[in-house]
Amino acid sequence: MVKVRVKYFLWLADKAGCSLEEILLDNSTLFGLMEHIKASRPKLSKIIESILQGSSEIIVLVNNSSPRTLNLELKDGDEVVLMPPVSGG
């Protein structure tokens, strides 16, 4: 099993009900993590589904880098960040 930290930013934290959580995973890929979040955080399920389908504008970072694939193997202690696109004016 792998333990990862997930940080939710801005309105994603409101939908998740927290801004930070630690998750234990059997399937230690980024895809597996997204599936876990989708199942455990119903208010995020549509957003996570769009990430899984590759049609989301949500920014996903793993250890401060953009992953090239959802098949990325996560390691114990990795940090995953989910945040909406930032705009300003």
- pLDDT value at position 89? 57
Torsions phi, psi for 69 (to 5 deg): -150, 155
- pLDDT value at position 61? 97
- pLDDT value at position 85? 86
Q: Which of 63, 52, 44, 56 is nearest to 5 (CA)?
A: 63
pLDDT tens string for the chain (89 positions)? 999 999 999 999 999 999 999 999 998 999 999 999 999 999 999 999 999 999 999 999 999 999 999 999 999 999 999 999 877 65
Spatial strand order in the sheet of 59-62: 20-25, 2-8, 79-83, 59-62
Domains of the chain: 2-83 (3.10.20.30)
Q: Give CA–CA dist 29/25, Å, rounded.
A: 9
69: which residues sit within 8 A by CB, 6+ positions away?
30
- pLDDT value at position 9? 97
Read off the tokens for 51: 């990430």
